[in-house]
Structure 1
Amino acid sequence: MVVLSEGLTQILIPVTAFIGIGFALLQWLLVSRVRVSSADHTEADNGYRKSLMGDSELENGVQSVEVTNKCTEIQHAISVGATSFLFTEYKYLTIFMGVFGAIIFVFLGSVKGFSTQSEPCTYNEGNICKPALANAIFSTVAFLLGALTSVLSGFLGMKIATYANARTTLEARKGIGKAFVIAFRSGAVMGFLLSANGLLVLYITINLFKLYYGDDWEGLYESITGYGLGGSSMALFGRVGGGIYTKAADVGADLVGKVEHNIPEDDPRNPAVIADNVGDNVGDIAGMGSDLFGSYAESSCAALFVASISSFGTNHDHTAMSYPLIISSMGIVVCLITTLFATDLFEIKNVSQIEPSLKRQLLISTILMTAGIAIVSFTALPSEFTLYNFGAKKVVKNWHLFFCVAIGLWAGLAIGYITEYYTSNAYSPVQDVADSCRTGASTNVIFGLALGYKSVIIPVFAIAIAIYVSFSLAAMYGIAVAALGMLSTMATSLAIDAYGPISDNAGGIAEMAGMRHEIRERTDALDAAGNTTAAIGKGFAIGSAALVSLALFGAYVSRAGIKTVNVMTPKVFIGLIVGAMLPYWFSAMTMKSVGSAALKMVEEVRRQFNTIPGLLEGRAKPDYANCVKISTDASLKEMIPPGALVLLTPLIAGTFFGVETLAGVLAGSLISGVQVAISASNTGGAWDNAKKYIEAGTTPHAVSLGPKGSDAHKAAVIGDTVGDPLKDTSGPSLNILIKLMAVESLVFAPFFAAHGGLIFKLL
């Protein structure tokens, strides 16, 4: 028996979204209480500040007020650089949005000659669906709304991170616990704003479109798929462009500064240091935010479309149709409660508690969300209903969907913990990689690649089990909601993920401001925990991408009218083998882009060290702006070819080779893309933490490998630079590739079904 009425559902979803936004603003208010301007500090509160900071009133002989001013100056430079890059990038993307929006309108409108005549629905027999022209118009509008929301998500994330980095640095003077709370609250601002905004915009879009579509739910949710396409398109360029930016700067700074001149990371003498810190925000924050928003939008759109051609759509059961949105609403509430465990209920007192606290967030949110899924499933769904399953009707019970969502949720947690095992320097795989540095960079690279390949095994089994169980219980709809289950705790996942780059920036600011070594040790401890949890976040993103892509694949097959996908058919097999090749082609393009940009950065950093008198001695100031310009120009130029490859492939395959070949392309890219993405991300993460393991020197084994500047440390740094484009550009971008191609194929499916296969028709 359904407990939630349509009226209550209509209220519950937006109210939950506003609660999420309100909670984000509260966290921002608490972060803003940390002052970064010395103008805020009066003589009256000097005694209070001294009692909090103790000896840190003097930082290496420099007055605390001067240190605060320096932190403010560095924060401003990072913020200006990040904002400038994003605005420039968004100018290019605005042109893309207009052009691609026009393509959507022309392709979909031409399916039936821009017809304005309503016709019988394809699946919901007896209902009349709106004309093809309406679908073209509303799909285009949905695409633009999804793109704008994705851009907003990335921009807000970047602004929050650049607002919080110096505040985290300053709070580190009071202790590790204070700094942790500021960094985590700042990540939570991003997590809740993105989750709540995505839900709210999608909810409003559906209800506005419904004013026109009325009872034509099939047409309504067909057009809504454009929302996912818009979100994922922006995410692709954000991830690729931001990834190229940050890794070009990072590689240039490390190779010349740390390897050639043996100066510390984030040393203000390094010309690439500001560009490196800017990159953390435009790549790891803005790009990552757009990426996870795209996953959420696509999984929601896939679930809604599949449901619209089931008994939910036929019977116009609004509450049951809204099940994916109600799951997301419950996720916001659960993540809100979970956040309190990190910020209010438990206090971090020493370095060893940081990483367990972050991992506890994942476990708590998963346990609470399991209970939340049960509540939603038994109050929003009828006890029994039917789903469309490739031409057949499948009877499903509400507890079936509970298990589908729950297995997606727990599979995500399993992938996260396996990722942690292979990327954290607390465990033997990364320690083995660090140990291999004894004999140089070559053995380090060999061990790192082997680790990445091996790390694929268990996540793939977890994804396979989730697919089998969810499909057996509820066909393609089961897979779609399993993906939503994996993303249901997105606010917490984003908070943990954003925490890492914020802490990284905090460490850079501490180094550049000349703060005491103790402060840098605290920020390094925050950053080290963030590296591991960031790797866990990438595991979540890749796992959810696999499920989302498969759900979109099922929706595409249904919408294109394909009865079966037979791999023994030549049309399908050639698509399969080409699709399996695409992730390698894409990875080659993005890695070479990073290499080309890094080459220019290395040359520029070397030039400045060689030509600016007194730079290495600290008597002269480097030209930071030129390095920022190199990263900006390179990333904007180099992001276009990989983006074009992803966006043009479905259009070319569907138009010239038909819907069956395109189905093979989607299947092939999904299968190989998941493997390559997991391997690349984990290899890069392992190399990064192997380097930090040696630098920290907190165990006898780490000490035996030598101090900073030793041969083993230099080998570890080289491995880290090799891994940078893998873990922060190619790996994360691949999960967007497999999702974007699938959702694009779904949107254009009517055109491909009506006019595709030109080559085979000529033959």
Structure 2
Amino acid sequence: MGVELMDSSVFWYAVLAVVVVALVFVLFNFNKVKKLKEGTDEMIEMAGIIRSGAGTFLKAEFKVIAIIGVIIALVFSLFVEATSGITFLLGGLMSSLVCIIGMKSATYANVRTANKARESLSIGETVKVALSGGSVSGIAVQAFGMLGLLLVLIIWGVDPHATGHGLVANLECNPSIMRITTYSLGCSIVAMFNRVAGGNYTKAADISSDILAKIRHDMPEDDSRVPNVIADFIGDNVNDIAGNCSDLLESFVATIAASIMIAVTLFINGIVNVSDETFVRMIIFPVILAGAGLIGCLIGLSYAFVRKMGDDPSRELNLATWISAGITVVLGLAASYMMFGNVPLYEDMVCGWISPWISSILGIVSGIAIGSITEYYTSDKYKPTKKLAEMAIEGEAFVITKGDAIGSRSTLLPILIIGIALFISGKISGTYGIAISALGMLSFVGATVSIDAFGPIADNAGGLAESCHLEHKVRIITDKLDSVGNTTAAIGKGFAIGSAAFAAVSLIVAYVGNYTAKGEEPVLNIASFIVVAGGLIGGALIEYFSAMLTDNTIESAKLMADEGDKMLSTPGVLEGKVKPDYNKLIGMAANQALKKMVVPSVLALCIPVIGGFIFGVQFVGGILIGATIVAIPRALFMGNSGGAFDNAKKYIESEALEGHGKGSAAHKAAVTGDTVGDTRKDVVGVALDIFIKSMSTVANTLASLFSTITLIH
């Protein structure tokens, strides 16, 4: 048609300008929170211990990650593609920066949230402090994820016809795809280590603290006499802030990467007729959509900050999410028309220029729907959790059994929504539409992470109010925020798992395209014995991975509980006259987490590599499908049953169950359920989504090599 090729660099710099504005927003809110008063001398001391412990743990963790990261980067540059080691390290750097900034913000915001409640006795004003701290994490996730990817695109661009090889090996590959996948993999490595180590740290501390306070000694939750309590506070930041930030940054980057990879493979494969100009626009569109989502997040969160909040903060937080999503929808429509309104479209875009936009809408709607379903099954406002609390009157066995039923029941609707959205997206826009649908769900991830991060900040604030002996009125406010935070955290976990499902499917689609020869239909034959064998092994690996994480956490928790018990027997500790050795328990939690993080994390990297080089691309495809099919319902079950257990306990503690408050037999049964749920929702559930995404990203990175180097043909 004689259309001049669009200059993509103009759009890269335009989106980069949005990213710069977002980073200014992050800096502004960080400084705003830091300038607030911390409170009493005891609050300042406790907050300092939490901040120092969290920072020390991250430093130790990143030393291990850095060593492994440099080794992997050298392997990529030497044997795969010369510059891919650089992009791998860039991904790791972006993810690490988000973790550090997010956790620093949270450890400043927690005590300032508690102090704002103490000074103002206002829920609305206190919410804004916690949300300001959370917004630093959320916006940083989206901004830094895009910053690294834009640097890759600006420096190297995307050339579908280029060939490259390692500095030592001479195996040809597409350097554009390799740089994008290794950038995504760098983000994934940090996320995997953070989730595995952070989950072990926080839940070993939390479980041991609950066992000591509520089961063995009948003490209040977050009592400062319990030496494990401060390690528990630190763990909230290590896992629910740093771990969650790197998790969703990795998902966000993976969906953009998958969109670009699928566009490249569609163009060079030749099965569908994609013109040069259409190809360029297919590369630009996902970046524009992500930038539109970032604008939506900035506006939605700013609205929440300027609006006067009442006694029901959950409504205002939900409104911020809706505004972010709504603006993303409108700007996404404009972007779809701008990109595809005046170029020849390939035949899979059955609805014309609006096809990619419809796919993105399906992802956005799916994300909001999954969040709502998660809230229904985990919030104490609704029937499932209330019924679970009532079952606690009958004892622990009833609590566990009912919680399992809630978790299992909660998996159907989210998976049904994911399946329908993927099916319609594929029908409307082909494989490209599947990736865009995944990106749509994550396009306003800045807002969802901001509100999710509100949860652990509010939780820490409540813990500080208790441990620093603030008046009861303050604790009422922080308990209210903690309850809202539990729900936002549960919704965030559901969103993370749902986005992982979309991301994993889009990565699997991209993987098949990456190893398919030019002119051949991209097909993974699930009736093949090779694929079935891989699928069975992939599913079994999910169960093994889950067991490994659970064993590691409960072993650490037992060691910490026993050590804490010894300290409580020290004369003067139980009487409150002598402070326990918090640092010893903090060190124990960190050492256990670091010692037990390497094997599960490296497992996700090694499985596709070993499977691919020994059995080939089809076998790895089977592993990815089997692992994804087992992991998604398993992760939803873990997250939702754990969330229901947690809020059922809090429902009883709020005196909502008449005659069965704190210290009652029903409460102790609910505490047992909550202890079981802790490992499920904060260790296994959140790590499974990283596990499948990491395997898929590794497979995409090495797909071209698997197709040429296989020991067993």
TM range (shorter): over 0.9
The correspondence of residues 337-352 of structure 1 with structure 2, limited to 5 A, is 337-345=299-307, 347-350=308-311
Instruction: Say if 1:455 and 1:679, in contact at 8 Å, map to a contact too.
Output: yes
How far apart are the structure 2 equivalents of 1:650 and 1:18? Answer: 37
Instruction: Say if 1:385 and 1:395, in contact at 8 Å, map to a contact too.
Output: no
Unpaired runs of 5+ residues, structure 1, are: 37-66, 109-135
User: Over residues 208-265 of structure 1, what are the superposed CA-to-partner deviations in whole Å (9 max), with x where a residue is unaligned?
Assistant: 1239x69749642342111111101110110110010000000000011112212111
Counterpart in 2 of 1:103? Answer: 75
How far apart are the structure 2 equivalents of 1:749 and 1:10? Answer: 28
Instruction: Say if 2:370 and 2:414, in contact at 8 Å, map to a contact too.
Output: yes
1:568 aligned counterpart, secondary structure = coil
Counterpart in 1 of 2:113? Answer: 168
1:479 aligned counterpart, secondary structure = helix
- With over 3 angstroms needed to count, the CA separation of the structure-2 counterparts of 1:376 and 1:156, relative to structure 1, is same
How far apart are the structure 2 equivalents of 1:303 and 1:320? Answer: 8
TM-score (norm 1): 0.87
Counterpart in 1 of 2:489? Answer: 534
- Deviation for aligned residue 1:322: 1.5
Counterpart in 1 of 2:641? Answer: 683
Counterpart in 1 of 2:32? Answer: 30
User: Over residues 579-604 of structure 1, what are the superposed CA-to-partner deviations in whole Å (9 max), with x where a residue is unaligned?
Assistant: 11121111100011110100101101
- Deviation for aligned residue 1:526: 0.6
The correspondence of residues 628-639 of structure 1 with structure 2, limited to 5 A, is 628-639=586-597
Instruction: Say if 2:538 and 2:625, in contact at 8 Å, map to a contact too.
Output: yes
Q: Tell me whether 1:406 sits opposite 2:365 in the alignment.
A: no
Counterpart in 1 of 2:296? Answer: 334
2:15 alignment partner AA: I
1:601 alignment partner AA: M
How far apart are the structure 2 equivalents of 1:433 and 1:317? Answer: 53
Which stretch has the larger CA shift, 149-158 or 239-248? 149-158
Counterpart in 2 of 1:195? Answer: 142
Percent of matched pairs sharing the same residue? 37
1:262 alignment partner AA: D
Which stretch has the larger CA shift, 272-281 or 218-227? 218-227
- Deviation for aligned residue 1:3: 13
- With over 3 angstroms needed to count, the CA separation of the structure-2 counterparts of 1:385 and 1:581, relative to structure 1, is farther
- With over 3 angstroms needed to count, the CA separation of the structure-2 counterparts of 1:567 and 1:319, relative to structure 1, is closer
RMSD: 2.0
Instruction: Say if 1:310 and 1:386, in contact at 8 Å, map to a contact too.
Output: no
- Deviation for aligned residue 1:380: 2.5
2:591 alignment partner AA: D
Which stretch has the larger CA shift, 24-33 or 442-451? 24-33
1:754 aligned counterpart, secondary structure = coil
- Deviation for aligned residue 1:396: 6.8
Instruction: Say if 1:576 and 1:667, in contact at 8 Å, map to a contact too.
Output: yes
The correspondence of residues 426-505 of structure 1 with structure 2, limited to 5 A, is 426-505=381-460
Instruction: Say if 1:373 and 1:402, in contact at 8 Å, map to a contact too.
Output: yes
Counterpart in 2 of 1:717? Answer: 671
How far apart are the structure 2 equivalents of 1:210 and 1:368? Answer: 29
Instruction: Say if 2:101 and 2:136, in contact at 8 Å, map to a contact too.
Output: no
Which of 530, 541, 545 does residue 582 from structure 1 map onto?
Answer: 541
Counterpart in 1 of 2:525? Answer: 566
The correspondence of residues 220-619 of structure 1 with structure 2, limited to 5 A, is 220-311=176-267, 314-315=276-277, 318-345=280-307, 347-350=308-311, 353-386=312-345, 397-561=352-516, 563-610=522-569, 612-619=570-577
2:110 alignment partner AA: N
Instruction: Say if 1:256 and 1:605, in contact at 8 Å, map to a contact too.
Output: yes
User: Over residues 628-652 of structure 1, what are the superposed CA-to-partner deviations in whole Å (9 max), with x where a residue is unaligned?
Assistant: 1111111011111211221111011
Count of residues in correspondence between the two structures? 689
Counterpart in 1 of 2:612? Answer: 654
1:170 aligned counterpart, secondary structure = helix
2:708 aligned counterpart, secondary structure = helix
How far apart are the structure 2 equivalents of 1:296 and 1:393? Answer: 24
User: Over residues 553-576 of structure 1, what are the superposed CA-to-partner deviations in whole Å (9 max), with x where a residue is unaligned?
Assistant: 111111112742222211111001
- With over 3 angstroms needed to count, the CA separation of the structure-2 counterparts of 1:226 and 1:396, relative to structure 1, is farther
- With over 3 angstroms needed to count, the CA separation of the structure-2 counterparts of 1:656 and 1:581, relative to structure 1, is same
- With over 3 angstroms needed to count, the CA separation of the structure-2 counterparts of 1:3 and 1:708, relative to structure 1, is farther
The correspondence of residues 173-192 of structure 1 with structure 2, limited to 5 A, is 173=118, 174=120, 175-192=122-139
Counterpart in 2 of 1:84? Answer: 56
1:658 alignment partner AA: G
Counterpart in 1 of 2:19? Answer: 17
Instruction: Say if 2:265 and 2:513, in contact at 8 Å, map to a contact too.
Output: no
How far apart are the structure 1 equivalents of 2:186 and 2:36? Answer: 37
- Deviation for aligned residue 1:614: 2.0
TM-score (norm 2): 0.93
Instruction: Say if 2:18 and 2:295, in contact at 8 Å, map to a contact too.
Output: yes
- Deviation for aligned residue 1:395: 6.7
- Deviation for aligned residue 1:86: 0.4
- With over 3 angstroms needed to count, the CA separation of the structure-2 counterparts of 1:90 and 1:6, relative to structure 1, is closer
How far apart are the structure 1 equivalents of 2:75 and 2:405? Answer: 43
Instruction: Say if 1:575 and 1:665, in contact at 8 Å, map to a contact too.
Output: yes
Instruction: Say if 1:320 and 1:382, in contact at 8 Å, map to a contact too.
Output: no
- With over 3 angstroms needed to count, the CA separation of the structure-2 counterparts of 1:168 and 1:2, relative to structure 1, is farther
How far apart are the structure 1 equivalents of 2:436 and 2:693? Answer: 15
User: Over residues 524-582 of structure 1, what are the superposed CA-to-partner deviations in whole Å (9 max), with x where a residue is unaligned?
Assistant: 11111011111111111111111111111111111112742222211111001111112
1:479 alignment partner AA: I
Counterpart in 1 of 2:94? Answer: 149
- Deviation for aligned residue 1:320: 4.1
- With over 3 angstroms needed to count, the CA separation of the structure-2 counterparts of 1:29 and 1:106, relative to structure 1, is closer
How far apart are the structure 2 equivalents of 1:224 and 1:691? Answer: 45
How far apart are the structure 1 equivalents of 2:212 and 2:154? Answer: 55
User: Over residues 426-476 of structure 1, what are the superposed CA-to-partner deviations in whole Å (9 max), with x where a residue is unaligned?
Assistant: 001001111111111111011111100000010001000111011111122
1:527 aligned counterpart, secondary structure = helix
2:93 alignment partner AA: L
Q: Tell me whether 1:743 sits opposite 2:702 in the alignment.
A: no
How far apart are the structure 2 equivalents of 1:488 and 1:394? Answer: 21
Instruction: Say if 2:403 and 2:641, in contact at 8 Å, map to a contact too.
Output: yes
How far apart are the structure 2 equivalents of 1:225 and 1:645? Answer: 19
- With over 3 angstroms needed to count, the CA separation of the structure-2 counterparts of 1:383 and 1:544, relative to structure 1, is farther
Instruction: Say if 1:153 and 1:286, in contact at 8 Å, map to a contact too.
Output: yes
How far apart are the structure 2 equivalents of 1:751 and 1:621? Answer: 58
Which stretch has the larger CA shift, 5-14 or 415-424? 5-14
Larger Rg, first or second structure (1 or 2): 1
How far apart are the structure 2 equivalents of 1:438 and 1:681? Answer: 23
1:150 alignment partner AA: S
- Deviation for aligned residue 1:319: 4.6
1:687 alignment partner AA: F
How far apart are the structure 2 equivalents of 1:383 and 1:669? Answer: 41
- Deviation for aligned residue 1:394: 6.6
Counterpart in 2 of 1:93? Answer: 65
Counterpart in 2 of 1:668? Answer: 626
- With over 3 angstroms needed to count, the CA separation of the structure-2 counterparts of 1:384 and 1:435, relative to structure 1, is farther
1:686 alignment partner AA: A
1:202 alignment partner AA: L
User: Over residues 483-539 of structure 1, what are the superposed CA-to-partner deviations in whole Å (9 max), with x where a residue is unaligned?
Assistant: 110001111001101111111111111112111011111111111101111111111
How far apart are the structure 1 equivalents of 2:349 and 2:236? Answer: 47
User: Over residues 698-732 of structure 1, what are the superposed CA-to-partner deviations in whole Å (9 max), with x where a residue is unaligned?
Assistant: x3xx223x121111001111111111111011001
How far apart are the structure 2 equivalents of 1:289 and 1:533? Answer: 15
Instruction: Say if 2:278 and 2:345, in contact at 8 Å, map to a contact too.
Output: no
- With over 3 angstroms needed to count, the CA separation of the structure-2 counterparts of 1:224 and 1:7, relative to structure 1, is closer
1:413 alignment partner AA: I
